[in-house]
Amino acid sequence: MFENKELITDDNIARVKDLLVCMEKGNEEDAIEIIDELTTIRETDLYQDMGKLTRELHDAISHFGVDDSISLLAEKSIPDARERLNYVISKTDEAANQTLEAIEESIPICESLNKQASELHDSWNKFTNRELSADEFRALSKEITEFFKETNGLASIKEHLTVVLLAQEYQDLTGQIIKKVINLVGEVEDKLIGLIKLTGAPQLKNEKEDDSASLDGPPVPGIAHADTVSGQDEVDDLLSSLGF
């Protein structure tokens, strides 16, 4: 801690020699004076070191205080991020519901047109094979007219498809929002590392053990979890190994 290299100097050696001479001669007054001189030299070093330490501490503390980005993160950015992520949930929910609604309205139209077309096809085959009576043919031509009316449904399917198309805009919006949150997480990570270095807390070497009782949720590529299967085939293999 103390820098002693300044202690053994020619001046100090001369002082110690003088001190020895004074003491041997019984010259107490001069001896005390030399001891005082040496003590002062020693104390000056000590005070200088303490001064330096105090300044470093002061700088560290004031640097920490001046850098208000951490409190900005805690008070503003993180609550903002929470809002942004909630917005992502509501946008994706909305898009999924719009899409499902459009599909649920389209499916019955498709089924009905498909059924009618296949009935007409049967009748038409009978007609080309000359198996239809005149009355049956009149009925068929009525059915064909009806079918053309029903094909208006195709226009509404097209509208539904446009709804599905537009609903996909969520991908762009939520993508941008999530990117911002990813940047924020990176920033928080940097600040935390800085804080750990500053406080000198030992870095944890062991990762927290995987809590097997908790549910992992959907698997994410790039994030490995111990003892998981990947995909339906592996589930099936595991279950069949258990006798399923």
Partner 1 sequence: MDTDMKILVVDDFSTMRRIIKNLLRDLGFNNTDEADDGLTALPMLKTGKYDLLVTDWNMPGMQGIDLLKAVRADENLQNIPVLMVTAEQKKEQIVEAAQAGVNGYIVKPFTALILKEKLEKIFARIG
Identify which of residues 119 and 210 has a Cβ nearer to partner 1 in the complex.
210
Of 34-42, 125-133, 136-144, 216-224: span binding partner 1 (CB under 8 A)? 216-224
In the complex, least distance from residue 238 CB atom to partner 1, rounded to whole angstroms: 6
Residue 101 class from Cβ within 10 Å (0-12 exposed, 13-18 middle, 19+ buried)?
Answer: middle
- Contact pattern from residue 194 through residue 213 relative to partner 1, giving x for each residue in contact according to CB under 8 A and a dash for the rest: ------------------x-
Cα(39)–Cα(47) distance, rounded to whole angstroms?
12
- Contact pattern from residue 77 through residue 106 relative to partner 1, giving x for each residue in contact according to CB under 8 A and a dash for the rest: ----------------x--xx--x--xx--
Would you give the distance in Å from CA 87 to the centre of its chain?
Answer: 16
In the complex, least distance from residue 49 CB atom to partner 1, rounded to whole angstroms: 57
In the complex, least distance from residue 90 CB atom to partner 1, rounded to whole angstroms: 12
In the complex, least distance from residue 110 CB atom to partner 1, rounded to whole angstroms: 11
Q: Does 21 bind partner 1 (CB under 8 A)?
A: no
Q: Which two tokens stand for residue 157?
A: 């399917």
Measured in degrees and rounded to the nearest 5, phi and psi for residue 56 equal -60, -45
Residue 173: how many CA atoms within 13 Å on its side-chain side? Answer: 16
Cα(34)–Cα(31) distance, rounded to whole angstroms?
5
Gyration radius of the chain over CA positions? 43
Q: How many CB atoms within 10 Å of residue 145?
A: 10
Binding site for partner 1 (CB under 8 A): 93, 96-97, 100, 103-104, 107, 212, 215-219, 225, 227-232, 235, 238-239, 242, 244
